[in-house]
Structure 1
Amino acid sequence: MLSDDHNETFMCIICFESPEDRRMCRFCSKFICASCLDLVLVHDPKCPHCRAEVTREDFTKVLWLPDHLKEVDNQVKLGIANKCSEHERQELSIFCQTCAVRICAHCLLSVFHGKHVDHGYCSSEDAYAKTVNELREHINNVRHAVEKGQEEVKKNKRSLNTILQYRNQRRDKFNKMHVLMHMKIDNETEKYLAKIADWSFMVHPNYSNDRHRHVLSVFLKLNSGMPEPIEYTYAIELVRYSGNASNYTVQGTGQFQPGWKNGWKSFYSVEDLASKGFLCPNEDKIKFIFKLRPTTIFEYRKVLEWHLNQMEDKRKHDEHAIARLEQEKKCLERTASEQRSKIEKIERRESELKESLASQRKDREIIAGQSCELKAVKRENESLKRKLSNIAAAQKRHRPEDRRDEAQRYKKAHD
C-alpha cells in the first residue's frame, strides 16, 4: 500500500482521485485518468498542468505492482487454460471439428480412453487460421456494410436536409398565412363589431376649458349595444398629411356601456396641427382613424353571445310575424277563392248574356234585312205606280179629243 503522501503525488490532477487507468505526461510526469484525459483533449489539446501542446500518445500508460500481479495472474490462468483438464500436462494442440472444442492428443486415442475417438479434427493452428480468416471475412463484410450504411446515412442526411429545408419553407409559409389570417380576422372583427354596435366618434376643441392652452379632445361613445359593461381596447390615430414622420396614435382601454364614452380631454394641441403636418392644406381639415376591439377573447365572446341572443330573439319575432302573415295569407287566399268563384259565376252569366245578345243581334239583323227588303219592294211599287200614272197620262194625251182640246187651247192662247 502507498502512503498518503504517495497517494497525493500519484492522484489524478483533474478529479483528485486515485486513477485506475493511469496516464503520465511525458513533459511534466503528472498523472491523469484516461477518462479525464479524453475530456481535456476534446476541449483543449494541452496538458492541464504544464500547458504543453500534447496528443493522447504523449501520455504513457503506467502499471504499478498490483497491476503487474494482475497481469501475471492472467498469464498463469492463460497457461492453465492451455492444458487439458483430463490428461495432465498435455497441451490443447488439436481442435475437434465435431465438438468444436480444443483437445489434446490423448483425447483422440482409445488407449487413453479419449472421448473424441473417430471425430473429425485438425491442428489448433489450422483451426485458428481458419477462424481468423472467417473473422476477417466477417469483418470485411461488416466493413462493407458499415460503408454502405455510411452512404445510406449520407443519403439520409441529404434527404433530411431537403426535408428540413422544405419544412422551413412550409413553416415560413404557414407563419405568413397565420399572420395574414390573424390580420384578416382582426379586420373582420372590427367590421363585425361596428355592425353589431353603434359607435360615435366625437371631437371637441378645448373640451377642458383651458384658457392657457387650446387642445383637441376626442371621445368614443357607445350609442347602442350590450347593456352590461364590456372592456375594450381602442386606438385613435391622427393622420399626418405632410412630413416623413408616422401618424400620431394613442391607445387606451376602458369599459363601455350604452351611453358611456371614453377618450382623452387633452389629445393634441391645436396650435401644432398645421406645423406638424396634420392639417390638410387644400381642404383645411384633419382626419382621424379609430380602431377598437374587446380586451380579451372572453369579452369578445360575451359580445358575440349577446348579439346571438339578440339575433335569436329577432328570429323568433320574425317567425311569429311570418306565422301571422301566413294566417292572413290563408284568409286572403280563402277570400280570393270565394271572390274567384263569384267572378267565375259572373263570367258565366256574362257569357250567357253575351250569347243571348248575340242571338238577339242576329234576329235584329234578320229583321233589319227584311225591313230593307220591304222598303225596296215599296220603292219598286211606288216606281211602278209612277210609271203606270205616267203611262196613263201619256195615253190621255194621245187621244183625239185631247188633241183637239189642246189645239183649241193653243189657238186661244195665241189669239
Structure 2
Amino acid sequence: MSSPNNGTATVETLSEVFRCFICMEKLRDARLCPHCSKLCCYPCIRRWLTDQHHQCPHCRATLHLHELVKCRWIEDVTSQLDTLKINETNKQKGEEKDKCELHKEKLTVYCQSCSKCICHQCALFNGSHVGHSFLPFDDIYKTNLSIVNEHLGKLKRRHVDLICLAQDVERNVENVKIARDERFKEIINIMQTIQSKLDEQFKIKMDALVGKIIN
C-alpha cells in the first residue's frame, strides 16, 4: 500500500540528484564533470580547482575549468522541483484539514445537531455526540452540490436574460440615433426652404423698390 508521503519522498529523491556534490545544496549555475558526469555549482568547483586542486573532487580525474560542461537546463528542472515541493506541501496541508483533529481520521459524517463534519469514531464513541442525528458526508456533499448547481443554473439564465436586455437597449439606442438624425435632416431641409423663400421675397421687394426709385 502506497504511503501518503510517497509523492513528497519522490520529489525529495529527485532533489538529491540535483544537488551539488561539493556543498550539498541546490545547484547554482550548474556544471558537469566530463569524466564522471557529476553535477556541481560553478562557484564551488571554481574555488576547488583554483586552490591548486586540478582534479575532480569526486572521481579524481584531471580537470580544468574550461573542460566543465555548462548545464543550462538544470535551472528549469530545479525550478520545477521547487514547484512540486510546494504543491506536495499544500496537498498534505489540505489532507490534514480534512481529518479529525482528535482521531486523525477522515471526516466522513455530518452531525446535524452540531452542524459540523466529524469522523466515524467521533460519531460512535465520542460522548459529546450522544443522541445527535448524523448524515453521511457524501449525502451532504451531493445535497449542497445540487443546491449550488441549481443556483448556478438560475444565474446562467439570468445572465442570458441580461444579455438579451442589453441587446434590446442597444437596438433602441441605435433606433433613437437614426430617428434623431432623420429629424435633424428634416429640420435642416425646412430651414433651407424657409431661407430660400425669404431670399426670394427679399429680392422681389428690392427689385420693386429699385424700380420705384428709378421711375
TM range (shorter): 0.3 to 0.5
Higher relative contact order (CA 8 A, sep 6+): 2
Determine which structure has the larger helix proportion and give its number. Answer: 2
Task: Tell me the TM-score normalized by structure 2.
Answer: 0.47
TM-score, with length taken from structure 1: 0.27
Would you tell me which structure has more strand in proportion to its own residues?
A: 1
Looking at CA atoms only, which structure, 1 or 2, has the larger radius of gyration?
Answer: 1
